[in-house]
Amino acid sequence: MSIQNILDRKGGEIFTIAPTATVTTAAHFMRARGVAALVVKSADIMSGLISERDIVHAISQHGERALSMSVSDVMTRNAVTVAPGDSLKRAMTLMTNHRLRHLTVIADGKLVGIVSIGDVVKYRLEDLEAESSVLRDAYIAAH
């Protein structure tokens, strides 16, 4: 299964926020949309990713003042990316090695989606269940 398969199933909706927005605005937007990360984007230029984890780290470091800081002050700047044709194994490896929960998906230099660790685990479990079913059916048919 590839990253494109995940995007096809979950949809390619990408939630973005301006780098000048406040951390409070980002938190409200995440809650309203039921997402844990937003792509930080100005015009067509992606400058990073802000996640719940970034917000927690900012509050831990700056206290209540973090809530009025701009998204660009607390975001992850060098977002790790994958391509639509990359495998789930590659995504899992990147997430594990970089200790990430979100990867942006880039095709031909353009942002086309975002996948979370939850997405990757969900679709990997579906793959394993399908493999298990095939093996179980083959075993039953052989006996």
How many separate domains does the chain show? 1
The pLDDT tens digits for 74-120 are 999 988 999 999 999 999 999 999 999 999 999 998 999 999 998 99
> Which range marks the domain in which residue 53 is found?
3-142
Gap between the Cα atoms of 135 and 137, Å rounded: 5
Neighbours of 17 (CB within 10 A): 20
Encoded tokens for 54: 């970034």
Contact (Cβ atoms closer than 8 angstroms) between residue 104 and residue 46: yes
Q: Where are the beta strands (DSSP E) in 1-143?
A: 16-17, 37-42, 45-51, 81-82, 102-107, 110-116
Confidence of residue 141 (pLDDT cuts 50, 70, 90): confident
Question: What pTM does this model have?
Answer: 0.81
CATH of the domain at 21: 3.10.580.10
